[in-house]
Structure 1
Amino acid sequence: MKFHKITLQDYDRLAPFFRNQAYPLCSYSLPSLLSWQTQAYYPVAALTEDSLIIAAEYTQKTELRHLILPLAPEKDWTPEALHRLCLDSGFPTYWFVPETWIRKVGEKDLEVFFRVEEQSAYTDYIYLKEDLSELKGRKYSKKRNLISQFERSFTEDRIHIAAIGPEDIPECLDFLELWCRERNCERDPEADMACEKIAAANAIRLIDDSHFRGLRLSIDGRLVAFGIANRLTQDMGVLHFEKALGSIKGLYQYFDRECCRRLFSPDIVFINKESDMDEPGLAHAKNSYHPIRKEKSFVLTAKDL
């Protein structure tokens, strides 16, 4: 099986495999896969007759090399076939295996061929779009209060919200640097926050050549927030990146509501806001928006049979 590194030039050829795919974890998004590549790792792909096989290659930590579940519009991969794919491809594990898929296949059948372990850092938070767009009810009263404070501080004529276009890329990249300095996210170049900054910068550069949709917010002509989203499954969108200056009270809550209102088509019912990467502060923030469920992620490690 021959793998090659995925680049933007592969986008149109690979995109059909991702349309209406069934896996509700954010990793199964082609624009996201193109964004999440650094000097440490990058995505590769191989095509069979009926499936797209995606894997991650690591330049140094080769023990982390892994597959994700194959994308096959007209084929259901059995545990036995997945095990055989590990042997044929030379990748010993699958990462980002959704809990709902494991339930569908059956954990007992999987355990014949794989060791199954949870990846707690990559549990995705899933919300009703209506909840995040409207913020109705007592459970969202604090969010509404913060939005009201923001709206009192900044009149409507000072706020400008628009789609991100190619002409906005340099300004968005400059803002990302400011956002990163505010959070000291590059204190550890290999930490998740530093890698996320690289991925967000890649996503901004892809904004005109992929199915990413972006939104920007400026106050008095100064960019203070941006968000980038994409469709994930037939009825679920994913908010991949959402950055806002923490020094402006209520900005994040206001902008988050606007992203959920403006970045997703009417047929989207659920919004996936990705994982908390085992960061307590991020977990608290995501839980404060009251997800309707959390989609757990698992690693499947092929057994020697």
Structure 2
Amino acid sequence: MTFKPLEIEDYATLKPCFEKQAYDLSPYSLLSIMAWNGHLYRTFWRIEGVSAILSFRSDLDPADRYLVLPVPPPAGLGADDLVRLAEGSDIPSFWFVPDDWVERIGRSALEARFRLTDQAEYGDYIYRTADLAELRGNRYTRKRNLIHQFEKAYVSRGRVAVEPIRRENAPECLAFLDEWCRLRGDCDPLGEDTLSCERRAVIAALENLEILEGIGILVRIDGTVNAFGIASRLNGTMATLNFEKAYPSVRGLYQYLDRECARFLFAGFEFINKESDMGLMDLAKSKESYYPVRQLRSWRLDLR
């Protein structure tokens, strides 16, 4: 089974497959796959029938490899099909198998051929778009108060502008990202840690936003970019908030950005996928504070 290295130019070939994809987990976002390619893992692909088959390999450890489910899933996808793909590619693992697809394929059939491991750190948080765009009710009182403080200090004084991210202003987003990383002090441009790799993924997304059909907004304060968010379609009812950055020192800015993202980037989608917490307690607390309607489960399958 032969795979091709993934390139940005392959987006147009893969797009028809991903337009029909049925999974809710964010690793099946084509923009995310493209942007993260070569950062932590390198991506390879092939077309088989109506589906794209994707494999991922770590540059640090070539033995660290995995597949994801076919995109879109062919009719009648079963455990035997996954065994055939694993054996044919000589890659014994599937990552990011959504819990509902474990049940749809058949847990007992999968357990007969694979060892199933819960990938708790990759469980995505799902929100209703209307909840985050409107922030109604007592549970969002603190969010509304922070936004009010930001609007009083900045918006009401004409100091804030919200714009779509375009080719012309993308360099300003890159400059903001560099400063955001400098202030954090832990975004090594050449590092292999998750935050350093995320920085390079954000750069790839910004530099190729039109090709990847992503959408984004930025927030200016006094003419300077202080925050931005990037989103992309995941499936017919859900889009993913792929990246969201804001200066933490500006009180209420993050909450303002998050609400504006929900209003402008997710129109037409019932749900927002805000990705996982990666097992980080502070990130989990932040995501839970927006009251997800559900948290997805992700499974790893290893051939027995």
**Fold agreement, TM-score > 0.5:** yes
Q: 1:251 and 2:253 equivalent? A: yes
Deviation (angstroms), 1:77: 1.9
Query: How far did 1:99 drift?
Result: 1.0
Measured after TM superposition, the shift of residue 59 of structure 1 is: 2.1
For residue 43 of structure 1, give the secondary structure of its aligned residue in structure 2: strand
Alignment gaps of 5+ in structure 2 = none
Check if 1:164 corresponds to 2:165: yes
AA at the equivalent of 1:256? D
Aligned length: 302
Matched, 1:288 2:298: no
DSSP-derived class of the 2:28 partner: coil
Q: In structure 1, what is the equivalent of residue 302 of structure 2?
A: 301
The aligned amino acid for 1:199 is: A
Q: For 1:153, give the aligned amino acid.
A: A
- Amino acid in structure 1 at the alignment position of 2:252: G
* Conserved 8 A contact 2:39-2:197: no
AA at the equivalent of 2:215: R
What letter matches 1:261 in structure 2?
R
Check whether the contact 2:22–2:73 (CA below 8 A) recurs between aligned residues.
no
Deviation per residue, 1:245-300 (Å, 9 max, x gap): 0010000001100000001232x101000011111111110000000100111110
**Alpha-carbon distance between aligned partners in 2 of 1:247 and 1:60, rounded to the nearest angstrom:** 35
Is structure 2 residue 189 aligned with structure 1 residue 198? no
* Structure 2: distance between partners of 1:73 and 1:82: 11
Alpha-carbon distance in 1 for matches of 2:107, 2:18: 25
Asked whether the 8 Å contact 1:161–1:215 carries over to 2, the reply is: yes
Report SS of the residue matched to 2:209: coil
Instruction: State yes or no: 1:276 paired with 2:277.
Output: yes
| CA distance in structure 2 between the aligned counterparts of 1:40 and 1:131, rounded to whole angstroms | 34
Q: What residue in structure 2 maps to residue 133 of structure 1?
A: 133
Equivalent residue for 1:236? 238
User: Shift of the alpha carbon at 1:244?
Assistant: 0.4
2:93 aligned partner, one-letter code: T
Distance change >3 Å, CA 60–CA 112, structure 1 → 2: same
Root-mean-square deviation (Å):
1.4
Q: Deviations over 1:35-86 (max 9, x none)?
A: 0123542111011123210111222312321101011365332101101110
Give secondary structure in 2 for the equivalent of 1:27.
Answer: helix
Corresponding letter in the other structure for 2:279? D
Letter in 2 for 1:47: I
TM-score normalised per structure 2: 0.96
Partner SS, residue 252 of structure 1: helix
Alignment TM-score, normalising by the size of structure 1: 0.95
Q: Decide whether the 8 Å contact of 2:92 with 2:303 is kept in 1.
A: yes
Per the alignment, in what secondary structure is the counterpart of residue 167 of structure 1?
Answer: coil
- Does residue 12 (structure 1) correspond to residue 15 (structure 2)? The answer is no
